[in-house]
């Protein structure tokens, strides 16, 4: 997998990579645009993710899809090997690494800036060796105790997301008196542990955890309060693409909209998040969301 960059628009995402391009210079964090909200493309190398599970279950299919997003303008590709939907099956760290490491290597060689969606420090360490520049950790309050030292040592960027419990228990823990204040307090507590381990403030990116241990009304309240999260002094990422609360909003004849019918609502969230200062939106549909954040930037002048 020395030159894995495929030309865009040369076939469906699940086709073998049809055209090879020379390996590109690796994109760095410093190369990211400063004048608009960033777009992070979601790449799940899983059989059971809620929206696209099983679509990119092999390394070749996943690399081809990652390259499609990369050439469509994604600023970051977020590669995940373990589903974090409610009640998802737990897999071993070895299986997670088997799924994602070839994909990370291939995308980095093609010039993409890669984030790895993992809760495990051992997987994060191997992903960093493979070229990942960002660790996207959805573990929330129950983070791997080895993670702060790893992030401090390698000086990678770290997405700290709010979650209570784990995918098996989080729905039962979605009880809040004041969801904004409690999520802020819990995120601050975890953030301070990373800072105490030597992680620099500029390495940390805050994610309110839309859909993780949250009921529908909690998600909307958090989205209305993005500025409060920016007040923590870190960049803010919003990950709402195709999530369940949007399906509930779009209920028709008593039936919630399935994930594939939530794209337009997801686009609206990205537009509003960008208009309210989000540093990055994490999305399934790169092209339309890139257009949306560009419009928001132009509107803001």
- Dist CA 17 CA 24 (whole Å): 16
In this structure, how many other beta carbons lie within 10 angstroms of the beta carbon of residue 201?
11
What is the spatial distance between Cα 40 and Cα 290, in angstroms, rounded to a whole number? Answer: 9
Q: What b/e sequence results for 264-288 when a residue is b if at least 16 CB atoms lie within 10 Å of its CB, and e otherwise?
A: ebbbebbbbbbbbebbbbbbbbbeb
Task: Indicate if 191 belongs to the active site.
Answer: no
Q: Which of 191, 243, 244, 262 is catalytic?
A: 243
Q: Any catalytic annotation for residue 235?
A: no
> Active-site residue numbers?
243, 282
């Amino acid at each position: 997998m020395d030159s894995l960059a495929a030309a865009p628009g040369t076939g469906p995402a699940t086709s073998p990579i049809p055209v090879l391009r020379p390996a590109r210079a690796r994109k760095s964090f410093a190369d990211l645009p400063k004048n608009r909200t960033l777009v992070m493309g979601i790449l799940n190398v899983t059989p059971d993710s809620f929206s696209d599970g099983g679509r990119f279950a092999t390394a070749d299919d996943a690399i081809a899809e990652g390259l499609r997003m990369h050439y469509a303008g994604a600023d970051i590709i977020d590669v995940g090997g373990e589903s974090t939907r409610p009640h998802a099956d737990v897999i071993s760290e070895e299986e997670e690494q088997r799924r994602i490491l070839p994909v990370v290597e291939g995308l980095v060689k093609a010039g993409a800036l890669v984030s790895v969606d993992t809760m495990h420090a051992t997987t994060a360490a191997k992903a960093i060796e493979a070229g990942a520049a960002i660790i996207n950790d959805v573990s929330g309050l129950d983070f791997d105790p080895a993670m702060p030292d790893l992030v401090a040592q390698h000086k990678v960027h770290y997405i700290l997301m709010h979650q209570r419990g784990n995918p098996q228990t989080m729905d039962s823990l979605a009880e809040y008196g004041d969801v904004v204040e409690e999520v802020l307090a819990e995120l601050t507590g975890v953030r301070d542990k990373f800072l105490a381990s030597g992680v620099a403030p500029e390495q940390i990116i805050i994610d309110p955890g839309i859909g993780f241990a949250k009921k529908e009304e909690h998600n909307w309240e958090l989205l209305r309060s993005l500025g409060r999260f920016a007040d923590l002094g870190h960049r803010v990422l919003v990950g709402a693409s195709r999530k369940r609360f949007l399906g509930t909003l779009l209920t028709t004849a008593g039936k919630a909209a399935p994930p594939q019918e939530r794209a337009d609502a997801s686009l609206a969230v990205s537009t509003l998040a960008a208009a309210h200062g989000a540093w990055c939106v994490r999305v399934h549909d790169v092209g339309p969301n890139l257009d949306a954040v560009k419009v928001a930037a132009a509107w803001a002048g």
